[in-house]
Amino acid sequence: MANIRLVLEFDGSNYAGWQRQPNGLAVQQVVEEGLGRLLGASVTLISSGRTDAGVHARGMVANFHTERILPLAAYREGLNGLLPPDIAVQEATLVADDFHARFDARGKWYRYCLCLNPVRSPLNARYSWQLRANLDVAAMTAAAADLVGVHDFQAFRTSGCAARTTTREIFSIDLLAAEKLLYIDVRGSGFLRNMVRVMSGTLVEIGLGKRPVNDVKRLLLQDQGQAGRTAPPQGLCLMEVWY
């Protein structure tokens, strides 16, 4: 019995998110079906977490146990030959029997991408939230600093979040400008449902002057529903999970 860890990159545009579900095609289902064909046996993937419909990943981690032992390159190359163009295995490694992609995750890096342009930008439409406005990046950076640390983030989740506890640790938030793009890089121990998207939406509202720069401090003491809008999914990418 081998425990194989996969790192997956996918364009989430055409998927109903990572997790299998009755309505719509999930990335998990496509990868599991590919593995089923490769190994001739059904496989269940354990992922580092879920991603929502339309969210992308550069480094989603998932593991599976199998008795069909192949050379490691065969998991990667063989599976890639069976996956559609918008999903690809980047790495396949043999890990300890007790490795668990969700329970063992120590942190995650999400990137939210904004495109700031006076008109819509077709070449950035697929992987960013297009804002036809100027943002006060200094105000956003100051507000982002207030999110860093151990806090109760219940104001920064959305309905449907099943987490029992709402305290999480944000290690860092970095705002990086690259021509007309502005990246919000968030690293943390774990995330509530839509947390990065609600954080990004709130920071954007601060950048637009719709909320005061010190609003994050107030929100960290509030209930769900007080924060900014949930930023749209196509701007979000799960960049890396570390163990």
Per the annotation, binding residues are 110
Cα separations in angstroms, 227 against 169, 220, 224: 18, 9, 7
Of 80 and 93, CB closest to a second copy: 80
Q: Tell me the HSE value of 150 on the side-chain side, using a 13 A CA sphere.
A: 2
Cα separations in angstroms, 92 against 7, 95, 237, 242: 7, 9, 20, 15
Active site residue 52: yes
- Residues forming contacts to a second copy in the complex (CB under 8 A) are 9-11, 56, 58, 76-77, 80, 85-90, 117, 119-123, 125-127, 237
Angle, vertex CA 58, rays to CA 119 and CA 3, nearest 5 = 165
- Tokens 């637009």, residue located: 208
Q: Which two tokens stand for residue 133?
A: 């406005």
- What 3-state class would DSSP assign to 167? strand
Which residue among the candidates 52, 104, 146, 215 is catalytic per the annotation? 52
> Least separation, in Å, of the C-beta of 160 and a second copy?
27
Return the active site residues. Answer: 52
